[in-house]
Amino acid sequence: MMRKYRVKINGMTCTGCEQHIDAALTSIGATNIQTSFQRGESVFEIPEDVNAENLGQAIKQANYQIEDIEEISVQKLKNIEIDNKSDYDLLIIGSGGAAFSAAIKSIEYGAKVGMIERGTVGGTCVNIGCVPSKTILRAGEINHFAKTNPFTGLQTSAKEVDLASLVNQKDELVNELRNQKYIDLIDEYGIDLINGEAKFVDENTVEVNGKKLSAKRFLIATGASPSIPTISGLDEVDYLTSTTLLELKKVPKRLTVIGSGYIGLELGQLFHNLGAEVTLIQRSERLLKEYDTEISEAVEKAFIEQGINVVKGATYERVEQVGDVKKVYVKVNGKEKVVESEHLLVATGRKPNTDALNLSAAGVEVGKQKEILINDYARTNNEYIYAAGDVTLGPQFVYVAAYVGGIVADNAIGGLNKRINLSVVPAVTFTNPGIATVGLTEEKAVDEGYAVKTSVLPLDAVPRALVNRETTGVFKIVADAKTLKVLGVHIVAENAGDVIYAATLAVKFGLTVENLKDPLAPYLTMAEGLRLTALTFDKDVSKLSCCAG
């Protein structure tokens, strides 16, 4: 039996203090330790036979004092014995990143694993998401630079895009990766693939194609699909989603995009680069409103400079189709505006795929958007059923889904008690310039009680951007004003997604601004912008010589 506690601790001032506390707690058998010197607390689990006196002595020996102890909950460690009483030890509904991660690790534990898929094996990322969109995004960038480049003396041009050929090439890549990374692994690992739609009959049984299957544990990893907003007339219009847009055979003359999240921005810019006249429409007054203002402004400036129409602060009145033309009626600042185009893309987020699962039969609770609710251990309120990936409406990235899928295998099959830790998750939007972020924004840091110090470096101060002749963008570091610990990093620049990994390490391991200044950064790389932004906390980098710190 394990007990979970939150302990308020006096005397912690830095990340080194966190490490001392972690070591002291580990010495008495604590696990899943999360210590924060900013909050002055540590949350952890200890065996039931460790009493408060032992806990107090361990903290005291580390030269700190306990202010308060609160028991949060009790978690049971369950050793899962592999047996033949059920059809499967783990039965997975879905076949994407979370599903395969859980399946492979569970088989390594010795489990018998089944996987149910109603459609195409591989989930969203490889089939209709990351892979197909990013390969055509690259094609769009090449076409854009063939038409327009910032260098004098280059005579480049682009002919009309043969979108059908691009789509065929995209499909070939998708098929190749689907086979290599998913289908071929089914036989290699001995996973039972069951084709059909799963519906729960009770808490440990599902029905597929009229056949009932039982399991000791279940993982629901059914992903999400495009969410369609309620706009008058929209259901009578031939609109596109992120899936169907990438199946077009010809570039439209005009494309209207409803929504300007990462999907709308990527696909809108893609078709602009392929030659369409693109209009982005959004309800909020600025792009990427959940990001800091500097990031939003840099992205909007880049899109407008490139010739993309951006309509902000719109109230949707209605949508209609006249022949092949789609008309979107909006009000902006009290004035009616009509946006016409041959194709209309709806990119207003995603909804979890839970409708067909009959979750009520298994007693599984869902949220307001029908997402599956899970605890810190990826378990639903039904102790036999876990969930991972987009169906939980957590961070919607395949690498997060795979990570949580691994946690499910450890807990459901391995008998461990691992907690999900998504406190530091990098996110990338593959526009040009790219958008990458990790950690806290300035606003969120303030909301969490930090005294904040920031550094904002315009991209025209980064040598790589200057030689590229593409200087619209920004680097921003958010730090704790007292310790200069890096709390968040936000970038709008070419290759922002490649740079953000270094920033992720800084945030995850509690590095300070000084730590970012010290290491050498290769000159004329975009990664150098991270170091220059750190230097900007106390220097004007425009007054420095090349590479001088």
Is 17 labeled as catalytic in the residue annotation? Answer: yes
Q: Are strands 350-352 and 224-226 parallel, antiparallel or unpaired?
A: antiparallel
- The two three-digit tokens of residue 68, written as one number: 């308060």
Distance CA 307, CA 274 (A): 13
Q: Which tens digit of pLDDT belongs to each residue from 186-205?
A: 999 999 999 999 999 999 99
Q: Which of 2, 17, 115, 526 is catalytic?
A: 17
| DSSP label of 545 | P
Question: Mean pLDDT over residues 112-121, rounded?
Answer: 97
Q: Which of 2, 5, 64, 239 is catalytic?
A: 64
Separation of first and last alpha carbons in the chain: 54
Residue 81 has pLDDT above 50, yes or no: no
Q: What is the pLDDT of residue 428?
A: 98
Active site (annotated) includes residue 316? no
In contact, 96 and 221? CB cutoff 8 Å = yes
pLDDT at residue number 78: 40
SS3 per-residue string spanning 143-159: HHHHHCCCCCCCCCCCC
* Active-site choice (2, 12, 115, 526): 12
Helix (H, G, I), strand (E, B) or coil at 124: helix
Using alpha carbons only, give the angle 223, 228, 233 rounded to the nearest 5 degrees. 160
Contacts by residues 509-518 (CB-CB < 8 Å, ≥ 24 positions apart): 510/15, 510/18, 510/485, 510/486, 511/485, 511/486, 512/479, 512/483, 512/484, 512/485, 512/486, 513/455, 513/477, 513/479, 513/484, 513/486, 513/537, 514/484, 515/486, 516/477, 516/486, 517/549
- How far apart (Å, rounded) are the C-alpha atoms in residues 176 and 168? 12
Task: Give the pLDDT band of residue 55 (cuts 50, 70, 90).
Answer: confident
Summarize pLDDT for 416-430 with one digit per residue, the tens. 889 999 999 999 999
DSSP for 259-316 reads: --SHHHHHHHHHHHHHT-EEEEE-SSSSTTTTS-HHHHHHHHHHHHHTT-EEE-SEEE
Higher-confidence residue of 60 and 144: namely 144
Amino acid 548: pLDDT: 62
pLDDT at position 245 over 90 = yes
Is-contact 473 298, C-beta < 8 A? yes
**Alpha helix (H) residue ranges in 354-456:** 359-362, 398-408, 442-447
Annotated catalytic residue within 130, 189, 262, 501: 130
pLDDT above 50 for 77: no
Q: State the pLDDT at residue 161.
A: 97
> What tens digit of pLDDT does each residue of 302-359 get?
999 999 999 999 999 999 999 999 999 999 999 999 999 999 999 999 999 999 999 9
Instruction: Write down the pLDDT at residue 83.
Output: 47
391: which DSSP letter?
G
Give the pLDDT confidence score for residue 75 in this predicted structure.
41
Looking only at Cα atoms, what is the longest distance across the chain?
78
Q: Read off the pLDDT band of 32 (50, 70, 90).
A: confident
Contact 93, 222 (CB under 8 A): yes
In the numeric block, the tokens 């619209």 are attached to: 472
Report all structural domains of the chain as residue ranges with CATH numbers, in order of start.
2-75 (3.30.70.100), 88-226+352-413 (3.50.50.60), 234-347 (3.50.50.60), 427-540 (3.30.390.30)
Helix count and strand count (H, E) for the chain? 17, 25
pLDDT of 175 above 50:
yes
Kindly list the distances between the CA atom of residue 292 and the CA atoms of 440, 443, 491, in Å, as whole numbers in the listed order. 10, 7, 10
- What is the DSSP secondary structure assignment for residue 231, as one 8-state letter? -
Active-site position among 2, 115, 125, 526: 125
Residue 242 scores a pLDDT above 50: yes
Q: Assess whether 547 carries a catalytic annotation.
A: yes
From the list 88, 109, 115, 546, the catalytic residue is: 546
Distance CA 354, CA 127 (A): 20
In DSSP terms, 142 is beta-bridged to none
What percent of the chain clears pLDDT 90, i.e. is strictly above it? 81
When pLDDT is averaged across residues 43-59 and rounded to a whole number, the result is 81
Active site residue 125: yes
What local confidence, expressed as pLDDT, does residue 36 receive? Answer: 84
